Amino acid sequence: MAGNDKKSKNFLVSKIGGQQLIVLGVIVALFAFFCIKSDIFRSYTTILSMLDFSYFVAFMAIGVTFALITGGNDLSIGTGMVCYGIIGGFFVTKLGLPVTVGFVITILCGVLMGCFNGFLVAILELPPFIATLSTMMIARGLGSIVTGGSSITWPADAWFKNIFKISIGEAKYPLGFVWVVLAVTIMTIFLRHTKPGRYIIAIGSNKEATRLSGVNVIKWHMLAYIICGMFTGFAGVAYSATFPTIAAGSGAGLELDAICAAIIGGTSMYGGSGTIFGTLLGVYVMSILKTGLPLIGLQANWQQIITGIVLLVAVFIDVVRGKKN
């Protein structure tokens, strides 16, 4: 393990020279800027809220990074996340099953949708954009059908809500951040130091050359989407833990937050390169902007424009990098 740590550090040092170091700098600068500009921003509760609202984006973003690395995309994660949370909650509130079962169902739904996306992209070879655009719509409708169009409120005392935020006395701690960091660590090791991770990157870099090396590209390509789906399931759990009521048919647009985060974090839209750590950084750039901009009195539409510009810059860096290669 020590060896691996050292390697990943070497890796970071070699790669961090690029986009990630910039993004880290951007995070520090933004954080400092908002702290200076707004009293409310520097309060512990604001930071706590910011973290609360970042877990589901972080899980989605980790997942979608895998789809992006294969050179694809997954647009179904936003509506999917909401849909899985609703279906899980439906089993608990309407059918009276234990919370744990609903929890498992939520994640399972994500995995199943991942399998379906993988089937469409890896086996039927549909363009990922269109394939997942379709499943995005399917997910959106599916949640509404299951609940008959109404929203779902998970039980307020569902146990998994406590694994994201723990209260000790009066104080509350963002335990969810620990899970996010853990997920980032595990998936980084997975991506860099295991065979499936290696193949997923290779597929994004050059699928045909990988296939001609005797690698079962269909299997590993599918796996990338299954991982994406599984993490969307996790996101569904986190979303359900954060927001008490989930409206059926909502969630469209949230996938863009996650995809933006991954791209800001240095994942290439051309596939073949990206890091989970970078994605996490991207998530927090988005979170800080989303929390901070309203606090400095910027009106809603300007917030979106600024977020758009940040994404443009990130995409521009990616394109420049792509040209260099």
**Does 248 interact with other proteins (rule: CB under 8 A)?**
yes
Determine the size of the site formed for other proteins (CB under 8 A). Answer: 74
DSSP secondary structure letters along 68-100: HHTT---TTHHHHHHHHHHHHHHHHHTT---HH
Q: For residue 37, state whether it binds other proteins (rule: CB under 8 A).
A: no
Q: Does 126 bind other proteins (CB under 8 A)?
A: no
Three-class SS state of 272: coil
Q: What does the DSSP assignment read for 107-155?
A: HHHHHHHHHHHHIIIIIS---HHHHHHHHHHHHHHHHHHHHTT--EE--
**Which residues ranging from 282 to 321 are in contact with other proteins (CB under 8 A)?**
290-291, 294-295, 299-301, 303-304
Per-residue exposure over 260-282, b if at least 16 CB sit within 10 Å of its own CB, e if not: bbbbbbbbbbebbbbbbbbbbbb
Burial class (CB in 10 A: 0-12, 13-18, 19+), 301: exposed
Q: How far is the CB of 245 from other proteins (least distance, A)?
A: 5
According to CB under 8 A, which residues from 46 to 65 bind other proteins? 46, 48-50, 52-53, 57
In the shown chain, the binding pattern of residues 153 to 182 toward other proteins, with x for contact by CB under 8 A and - for none, equals x--x--------x------x----------
Q: Looking at 136, 222, 276, 310, which residue binds other proteins (CB under 8 A)?
A: 136
Asked if residue 212 binds other proteins (CB under 8 A), the reply is: yes
Q: Which is nearer to other proteins, 25 or 70 (CB)?
A: 70
* 43 sits near other proteins (criterion: CB under 8 A): yes
Q: Which two tokens stand for residue 20?
A: 């990630």
Choices 20-28, 35-43, 110-118, 274-282; region in contact with other proteins by CB under 8 A: 35-43
Shorter beta-carbon distance to other proteins: residue 97 or 198? 198
- Please report, as a single letter, which amino acid is at residue 187: M
Is 97 near other proteins (CB under 8 A)?
Answer: no
- The two tokens of residue 198 are 């290696």
